[in-house]
Amino acid sequence: MWIAAGSLAAWLWLLLGQGFFWRTDVRLPRSGPDGSGPPEPDGFGPPEPAGWPSVAVVVPARDESAVLPASLPSLLAQDYPGPAEIFLIDDGSSDGTGKLARELADEHGGLPLTVDSPGDPGPGWTGKLWAVRHGMALATTRLAADRGNADGADRKDADGRDADRKDDGGVDYLLLTDADIAHEPDSLRELVRAAEANGLDLVSQMARLRVVTYWERLIVPAFVYFFAQLYPFRWVNRPRGRTAAAAGGCVLLRREAAERAGVPEAIRQAVIDDVALARTVKRSGGRIWLGLADRVDSVRPYPRLGELWRMVSRSAYTQLRHNPLLLLVTVAGLAAVYLVPPAAVVAGVLTGRSTPLALGAAAWALMAGSYIPMLRYYRQTLWLAPLLPLTALLYLLMTVDSAVRHHLGQGAAWKGRTYARPSAAP
């Protein structure tokens, strides 16, 4: 009975004291046709910038030929008024990713595309961040050269894009986006608009992940739900708050903030690079914002449980800093919060005891109710809400599996690479 009561108390605290993590209204507001928009909850109604800054879109890609046809054309088609260029960094692909990217650019046109390769990662670097480093350096050099004769006067480039900003020798913003992320045509415009109007150094949107198969429906919305529980967006967006996080699929980063924070060198070993990036920028005095996306989607499929399992388990133990004590606390916490309520209901029914039945049912109802907004965001049936304990059990097992793999020396494995614990990295 006391365990069930504790679980119910935990849910009351989570609902009211954990930054209202279960709400899904932290979104990037869209402006009206005149460049203004009404204030929105936890958002902004940003006006048009006086002059649109230059943006380099950096796309690290490793063996992404299966998803590029559904994602890269959306970047090429960005309706952005200022200077913008795409840099796809082919991180040692074996499936013709770079060649396919060039073919798609020839077919669709749009923003200029540069495809390059950084070579093997340097000592102590993850492959993705090595590619990002190469893309950032390439973009800064290229756009600085393109703007070398800038005099700050109002002008348009060959495509009619604004170019009325003072040249400081480099790109103004970097859009770091994954190769599986598809953007609506105004995505870049709205990201920059929000950053410029609100003095933000980092603007990140959690892309809406694909939810088609049974396993995707069961696991994917919960992935975002658990992430928001761990990093409540409202807490992330507090300028003086300690909580920091980002969603790596879509991050707009001010170049000056990147230089001030020493990015990406400062996070070169990070497996969970998006959270590390946000922490580093915020600690260096930058202002960050994170919310759910309406017009940014992941096209990567996870049709089978095994693929979702690997996606979660590859970094779960890293999230716990490879600490066995934190693992035990996490497992115990997941069990107490998510597994005790249905267990108490079953025990109450079998024993005929009404108190554990009532306490367990109340906690289960609060749990399911808190999950409903996320299911609605993903346009899924609400019947999945009572199944959240089952999903939590799967995540618990994935976390334990992540720890086991680490202690077997397999580490965080992804696309043919295995990363050691940072302290053990060369």
- The answer on pLDDT for 75 being more than 60 is yes
Per-residue pLDDT, 164? 47
- The answer on pLDDT for 291 being more than 50 is yes
Q: How confident is the model at residue 82 (pLDDT cuts 50, 70, 90)?
A: very high
Per-residue pLDDT, 48? 82
Per-residue pLDDT, 146? 65
% of the chain surpassing 70 pLDDT: 86
- The answer on pLDDT for 102 being more than 90 is yes
Rg (CA), the chain: 23
- The answer on pLDDT for 375 being more than 70 is yes
* Among candidate residues 148, 175, 292, the one with its CA nearest the CA of residue 234: 292
Instruction: Kindly report the average pLDDT of the chain as a whole number.
Output: 89
Q: Are the CB atoms for 228 and 51 separated by under 8 Å?
A: no
**Which residues, including other chains, have CB under 8 Å from residue 113's CB and lie 6 or more apart?**
76, 85, 86, 87, 88, 101, 102, 105
pLDDT tens digits, one per residue of 269-283: 998 999 999 999 999
Phi, psi angle pair for 90, to nearest 5°: -80, 105
Instruction: Kindly write down the DSSP assignment for every residue of 37-81, as one continuous string.
Output: ----TTS--PPPPSSPPPEEEEEEESS-TTTHHHHHHHHHT---S
Query: Could you tell me which residue, 356 or 150, shows the higher pLDDT?
Result: 356
- The answer on pLDDT for 165 being more than 80 is no
Whole-model pTM?
A: 0.90
pLDDT tens digits, one per residue of 244-260: 999 999 999 999 999 99
